[in-house]
Structure 1
């Protein structure tokens, strides 16, 4: 397996500096953001690379001698968003990311399945959390059909370019657990659309990432090493679907999600938090996580995603890398 880092946490610096941080922490791969919710900061000549061999070769030359190579592309977004400033833009970003992957000799693009509205006239997505009533189930079924129509076409496009698209199992998407993965694959007959196994969102949904890998097997194309910690004192009161977020003001530093949508501030007394690898689950757990992934694909790309706000950027990467490398060493010692 190849162990690397998703580059979003290092978007504050030039690519060569990001590569040095990754190499200094014993990692060998970088998963590059190429659109969707976040801009392709570390692919500044995206358009040129798509058409120019010289631009492509110059870009690949940046990685030579660094000990770090590209380990997949990431285009997380909502390609099914009903708003014209978001859905079509993110969908096109996925197509362009697939083309870029082909140009760069890559075979994995990470994204999300997306989430449409609840009717043809909707302007906002509507996630059906618990379809216990008939109207909600009607919406969920219609959303699955919308997703299937989109991903059936995208599956063919990806196959034409020898790329596999790995969907992150992320809530607020049509596909977020095993059941919905299987529904989408059955509805589309997909061969080049599968799963990015990001453990973090499975943990807080009370899913076991190792069990999910074992169950989905070859549908797992790619993986993210990301941890969470449940805070029992608040989870016992508000559950894991707590909506205590704060809308950030225009004069505050905030992250755009496209159009007029922005990331909200995380709840102060949160039921759960993203934490650096090892602060939620020990090395022993991550060893079994890697073991399950290796059994699916010995060449699996496994990239750290750092979102622990209690740690600095480089500090968090270092903490996570130590845990992931320790887990990998333990696995290798017991093969």
Structure 2
């Protein structure tokens, strides 16, 4: 198994410095953001790489002697966004990422399934959380039609380039659990779509990532190491679907998600938080997580994604890397 880091947390420094950080952690892979919600900070020459084998070779040379190699491209976004200025760009970024992956000798691109609006002609996505009424199922029927058409085309595009697309099971997307994965594959007949197993989003839904890995088997194509901590004192009052976010003002530091959409501030009294490995689930859990992934593919890439706001960038990576490497050692020792 290949253990590495998703590079978004290291976008504050040049690629060479990011590679040094990862190597110092004792890890060997870097999953590189290539568009979507975030810019391709560590691969700004992505268009040149797609167009020119020489540019691809030059980019790969930057990894020589570092002890770190590319472990997939990441293009998380919403390619089904009904505001086409966002949706079309994110879809184009996925296609570009697939071409770039092929040019770089990679066979995995991570993204999200996306989320359409609730009906034709609207400008905002509509996430149906609990379809208890017939109107909600009408919305879902429409959204699945949109998704099936898009992902059928994208599956063929990925197949043509020898790349597989791994969808993160992220809520606020149409596909966010095991049942949805099966449905998308059935609707599309896809052979080059599967799952990026990010355990964190399953944890807060009260799903078991290990059970999902074993249920989906070869559909698990890639994995992320990110933990979640439930905060009982707040969850018992507001549940895990708490919407206590704050809109950030234009003069505050905020992340653009496309068009005029921006990330909001996380609730201060959150029902749950993304945390470094070990702060939600112990090393023994991550050992079994690795075991399940290894059963699917011994060469699986498992990359740390750091979003723990209680820890600095490097501090958080150090905490996570210690737990991950300890879990790997426990697994390898059987």
| Range of TM-score over shorter length | over 0.9
Q: Deviations over 1:246-272 (max 9, x none)?
A: 000000000000000000000000000
Deviations 1:6-64 (A, max 9, x none): 00000000000000000000000000000000000000211111112221111101100
Large movers: runs of 4+ above 3 Å: none
1:251-290 alignment to 2 at 5 Å? 251-290=251-290
* Structure 1 position 108 matched with structure 2 position 108: yes
Query: Using the alignment, how far apart are the partners of 2:125 and 2:173 within structure 1?
Result: 9
Q: State the 1:84 CA deviation.
A: 2.0
Is 2:234 the counterpart of 1:234? yes
- State the alpha-carbon separation in 2 of the partners of residues 50 and 216 from structure 1: 32
- How far is 1:289 from its partner? 0.2
Task: Using the TM superposition, give the Cα deviation of residue 203 of structure 1 relative to its aligned residue in structure 2, in angstroms.
Answer: 0.0
1:126-162 CA-partner distances (Å, limit 9, x unpaired): 0000000000011012101110110001000000101
Displacement of 1:92 in angstroms is: 0.3
Aligned to 2:95: 95
CA distance in 2, matches of 1:54, 1:103: 10
Please say if 1:81 is aligned against 2:75: no
Give the corresponding residue for 2:34.
Answer: 34
Identify unmatched segments of 5+ residues in structure 1.
none
Q: What secondary structure does 1:85 align onto? A: helix
For residues 170-203 of structure 1, give each alpha carbon's deviation from its aligned partner in whole angstroms, at most 9, with x where no partner exists.
0000100011111100000011001000000000
Q: How far apart in 2 are the matches of 1:67 and 1:159? A: 30
Whole-Å Cα distance in 1 between the matches of residues 264 and 243 of structure 2? 11
Q: State the partner residue of 1:217.
A: 217
Structure 2: gaps spanning 5 or more residues: none
- Partner of 2:85, secondary structure, is coil
Please state whether the residue corresponding to 2:196 is helix, strand or coil.
strand
Pairing 1:159-170 to 2, within 5 Å after superposition: 159-170=159-170
Matches of 1:167 and 1:56 in 2, distance apart?
25
In the alignment, the residues of structure 1 paired with residue 292 and residue 142 of structure 2 have an alpha-carbon distance, to the nearest angstrom, of 34
TM-score, length-scaled by structure 1:
0.99
Q: Cα deviation per residue 1:230-287 (whole Å; 9 max; x = unaligned)?
A: 0000000000000000000000000000000000000000000000011100000000
